[in-house]
Amino acid sequence: MKKRLNLNINPLVALLTTFFVCGKNAVYKTKDFAYRLIQSAIENQSLEAMFKLTGYISADRVLDKIHRITNEEINKLAEKVNRNLKLPKKVILAIDFNDKEYYGDKNHPWVMGSKGGRYVRRVIELSLVKQALFINAFLVNQLTNNKVKLIRQLIDGFYRLFDSKLELLLVDRAFFTKAVIAYLIENRIKFIMPVIKNKAILPLAEQFRREWLPDKIEYEFGKYKINLLFLKVNGEVLVYATNTKYSPLKAHFLYRKRWQIETNFREQNNFTFKTQTTDFSVRYFAFVLAGLLFNLWQLERKWRIESYLFKQKLLFELIGLWKGWKKKNVINSIYYLPVT
């Protein structure tokens, strides 16, 4: 890189330290825990593996600190960091569920069922479409799985942080319900979402395929009327619901931006610290921290830096700070770790 990247990790470290309490004479201080979490996330390594590699801060010690953090505090972490984002005056946002397979106790109250008989832990995520950025996320369980309340919570939180106008909301087909449609229309939120081809929609898609139906029709859904858009793509009939005047082709290309963001956010998984714990709050914390580190990378994409190079530079920055604070040497090997 010919130009220096401005990778200032200090603000995130400072915020993380506020979550931890350490005694005056404790061997490990709050910064140690913050640095270890960020380092593990950058390396996409488990807390257990990092301890085995270094003999420095056991996973149990780190997890004990994280277990004391509430889900509300984790959510506030994302807000505190992301309030500094400079967004355009008009934005396109996407909302989606993020499901991760779960292999523990299937009777756990936080476990959600999904298609295919799988059990998952679920997070609902709000993201900016252009440029792809993580905005916020909430952990979802069987008691909080109210789609309208979840969307309202995310949108209200967005407006508390930013002055930007929500130009368009791209929503996954899982939100195609009368209650969600009513909420979006009543709050004048323009949206595009794929339609579940249920027993009411499937015959309409077939009629369009046979050219018995136009590519745009008005459809009564609950107490409101919406537009259904039909489009043939590679032999398949796609159906979108919207309250806009977009043509089927334009709606399709706009919604493809959301498909693209799903590809981008797969990279977010590579910024996640791993752990063997089945505790949902710890994994939620890991998910949010990954989103914040992912944002750092995205904000530096103007330099066209690949993620592995970004991680390397960020790791140098992190270890330099840790070394300076601890006044210890570092081991120059696969990982750059404080000498115990």
**Structural domains of the chain, count:** 2
Please indicate, yes or no, whether residues 110 and 226 belong to a single structural domain of this protein.
Answer: yes
Please indicate, yes or no, whether residues 95 and 191 belong to a single structural domain of this protein.
Answer: yes
Indicate whether 209 pLDDT > 60: yes
- For residue 275, being part of any structural domain is answered with no
Beta partners for 137?
125
Q: What is the pLDDT of residue 190?
A: 98
Q: What is the pLDDT of residue 340?
A: 43
Structure-block tokens of residue 248? 């089927």
Q: What is the pLDDT of residue 328?
A: 63
Q: Which of 103-107, 118-122, 303-307, 328-332 has the lowest mean pLDDT?
A: 328-332
Please indicate, yes or no, whether residues 64 and 78 belong to a single structural domain of this protein.
Answer: no
Q: What is the pLDDT of residue 335?
A: 47
Please indicate, yes or no, whether residues 126 and 108 belong to a single structural domain of this protein.
Answer: yes
pLDDT per residue over 17-36, tens digit each? Answer: 999 999 888 989 999 999 99
Please indicate, yes or no, whether residues 258 and 197 belong to a single structural domain of this protein.
Answer: yes
Domain that holds residue 216: 73-269
Q: Which of 70-79, 151-160, 206-215, 294-303 has the lowest mean pLDDT?
A: 294-303
Please give the angle made by the CA atoms of 321, 26 and 7, to the nearest 5 degrees.
Answer: 15
- Which of the four pLDDT bands, split at 50, 70 and 90, describes residue 157? very high
Sign of the torsion angle spanned by Cα atoms 182, 124, 256, 173: negative
Structure-block tokens of residue 311? 């991680």
Structure-block tokens of residue 327? 């006044």
Q: What is the pLDDT of residue 128?
A: 93
- For residue 5, being part of any structural domain is answered with no
The single-letter DSSP state of residue 228 is: E
Please indicate, yes or no, whether residues 100 and 221 belong to a single structural domain of this protein.
Answer: yes
- For residue 213, being part of any structural domain is answered with yes
Beta partners for 124?
97, 138
Beta partners for 181?
none
- Which of the four pLDDT bands, split at 50, 70 and 90, describes residue 155? very high
Please indicate, yes or no, whether residues 204 and 318 belong to a single structural domain of this protein.
Answer: no
Please indicate, yes or no, whether residues 109 and 233 belong to a single structural domain of this protein.
Answer: yes
Count helices and strands in the chain by DSSP H and E runs: 11, 11
- For residue 227, being part of any structural domain is answered with yes
- For residue 291, being part of any structural domain is answered with no
Please indicate, yes or no, whether residues 60 and 109 belong to a single structural domain of this protein.
Answer: no
- For residue 193, being part of any structural domain is answered with yes
Please give the angle made by the CA atoms of 111, 113 and 116, to the nearest 5 degrees.
Answer: 140
Q: Which of 50-54, 201-205, 284-288, 298-302 has the lowest mean pLDDT?
A: 298-302
Q: What is the pLDDT of residue 100?
A: 83
Q: Would you call 82 helix, strand, or coil by DSSP?
A: helix
Identify which has the larger pLDDT, 244 or 121: 244
Please indicate, yes or no, whether residues 129 and 200 belong to a single structural domain of this protein.
Answer: yes
pTM of the model: 0.88
Please indicate, yes or no, whether residues 210 and 223 belong to a single structural domain of this protein.
Answer: yes
Can you tell me the mean pLDDT for 212-216?
A: 96
Identify which has the larger pLDDT, 110 or 73: 73
d(C-alpha 179, C-alpha 221), whole Å: 10
- For residue 78, being part of any structural domain is answered with yes
- For residue 256, being part of any structural domain is answered with yes
d(C-alpha 171, C-alpha 191), whole Å: 7
Q: How far apart are the first and last CA of the chain?
A: 33
Task: Identify the CATH number of the domain in which residue 113 sits.
Answer: 3.90.350.10
Looking at 269, 293, 324, which one is the last position of a domain? 269
